Amino acid sequence: MKRFAVTSLITALMVGGAACRVPPSPAETPSVEPRLQADQSALLQSIRDKDQGQLAVSEEDGKFLRVLVATRGTRRALEIGGASGYSGIWIGQGLRQTGGRLVSIEYDPVRAAEAAANIERAGLSDIVQVIHGDAFVEIPKLEGTFDMVFLDAWKQDYQRFFEVTFPRLDPGGVFLAHNVVNKQAEMGDFLRTITTSPDAWSTIIAPSGEGISLTYKIR
């Protein structure tokens, strides 16, 4: 599988995205109280401890998502497969700095309820909207476009999700997919698509070994 130089591409993803937007000034960026930061950290650990099905991303991957969101100035993010809200909290922390918003879709009703409760406990309900339902049904109902999509759902559906969401990704936006290293055998069609598309640059990083693909939409 062809890969581009990770350092140069990630620099382009971060700097290029930020160049398209005017980041909020320090005075416009809501400060996060140390007490809330501590509460969020404890909540994140609690979610990981209860994650018997290992559905959440790793802590390393979560930190990467937060930094990517903040440095790119992400404003309109979509998450497909929110599980219990672990990755949504990391993304939401980044969006707190950019003034952006996240829509997180989760198919399982129990996990969707857990995600909504965890997002509220994290103090991010004004930033993260949790939707329970089939993402193939719910995505067409959403208005507008996105400048970031994060996919962590049923692996065999990655190609279909890419086909549904990539046309609604802004030029200069990024499409990220999880588990592309440890479960790559389940998504061969998707991996071929993102590495051969004439409208995108793609690479893979693996902060924790699970792997995240990053696809930058050229036009």
49-67 pLDDT, tens digit each: 887 766 789 999 999 999 9
Q: pLDDT at residue 3 above 80?
A: no
Cα 157 to Cα 166: distance, rounded to the nearest angstrom? 14
CA distance 15 to 212: 19
Radius of gyration over every alpha carbon of the chain, rounded to an integer in angstroms: 16
The topology (CATH level 3) of 6-20+55-217 is Rossmann fold (3.40.50)
For 114-148, write each residue's pLDDT tens digit. 999 999 999 999 999 999 999 999 999 999 999 99
Structure tokens at 163: 């086909």
Read out DSSP for 130-184?
EEES-HHHHGGGS-S-EEEEEE-S-GGGHHHHHHHHGGGEEEEEEEEEE-TTTTG
Give the confidence band of 21 by pLDDT, cuts at 50, 70, 90.
Answer: low
For the chain, the domains span 6-20+55-217
- With a cut of 90, say whether residue 33 has pLDDT above it: no
pLDDT in tens, 160-214: 999 999 999 999 999 999 999 999 999 999 999 999 999 999 999 999 899 999 9
Parallel/antiparallel/unpaired status of strands 128-132 and 101-106:
parallel
